[in-house]
Structure 1
Amino acid sequence: MTSSSKDYEACNQLIENYLNNDAEPTLERFLNDNEKVIGKPDWDKLLLAAVKKFDTGPHPVPQQQKPPPSIASPSAPSKSSKKPITAAMVDKYFEPLVDDKKWTLSTGKVVEDTMKKYTVTCNFEHPIHSLILDIDDKMWVKDGYFTEQEMREIKDARCPKDPELPTHIAEYLKGYAGNKDLESIFDHANHRLFHPKRESDLFWIHQAFVKTLNLFYSNYLPITDHSETDILNRVWGIVQECFDVSHL
């Protein structure tokens, strides 16, 4: 008897025992209970073939379902949807940086060099490879790349201050205070209209309220299973309209 035949028989027996001893069998529970066994080479095909043989109908097996590898990292992607990264690619991103132009913190730590230390631990392309440092990612402090003090220094560096709202806009927005339901917000939004050219800022704010209300009235919001394209068109489209009469 070949090794493949023995594996197939063992797989059949394993599934048969499971089906006979579980009142409500599911493929997910079977995979979790037998993860160490089914993680062996070729068992994914044997498993699907055997499950199909014993399956009685209430718990169909997806044709492309595969057992998770027993030694895979929880964060490792199941498919190469991300671009694999190599040491040569890391050098390509960081080698051109000139030392005397790098950012040195008050503690003496060089930000770009510290970022590079993290890149060499990545198996797949990460925003850091484009020299993007997410200051809200707690990993930087948790994993010891920066201290809390250093992260505060990074966050505060060259941080632009938001300009004060013009008085007429601030007064208009204050008018919505206390309106906590759709009807009261709708009534306030429609008690006055604005000219799209002469009062372009107030016109856009007013339109943003009205169009957002419409998304709630039509049950488009809150967002659940909407596609990214839908959200870009329906939600972010409202924001984009603020640039219609802007100089930016």
Structure 2
Amino acid sequence: GPSQPSNRESNQEPDQPNKEPNQEVGPTNEDDEGFNNCDRMIFTKRFEAMDDRKKWLLKSGKFVEDVLYDLGMRCKFHNLVHSFIIDCEDRFVQSGFTNNELMEIREASDKQGEMQIDDELLNYISTFAKNSTEEIREALYALHPNLTRNYNPINDFKYEHIRTTVSDWVRLLEMKPNPLTMTNLPESWFRVNVWRTIDIAFSDIPFMFFVG
């Protein structure tokens, strides 16, 4: 069923905004140098390019994207709202919505259900279920009809993303010493070598850009 408001939310009136926590406490990670003026300009341009007809309109009359933008402009450090991502457990995000609005957002998320992966794509993924990186490399460079001359950037990007991701991880696994076993690597290393897998996953969506 839909998620219920936490205790800290239930102390507020359903139609009253939640109390805003202090956003000057500090960054979410030690590499965060703050959400500067340049970041704000880029964030604002992305927001102003949005079409109101494609925004999420709540029953209260608020656009979710408008609320996230207002929150983002008040942030002192980088936050998920700067990518227009809603984290309903973030007290700062909660401060922009009433409890009724948060409930509506959660209920909509619950109704989406799990995404289904087609059998052909699952079969391609299973070709990398090997016992060694040598065998995985052999599978990586095997010809595939969706990745050769008939490649379609719109329909076949998912195959390319899988192959690129597997290739990246094979490279990391084969490095000596293995960086994945180290504990003192900076967050910037993970952005370049690990989190890029997530960033690239959305490359086929028009006008969506990730800035690490």
Compute the TM-score of the two structures, normalised by the length of structure 1.
0.38
Higher relative contact order (CA 8 A, sep 6+): 2
Higher radius of gyration, 1 or 2: 1
Compute the TM-score of the two structures, normalised by the length of structure 2.
0.42
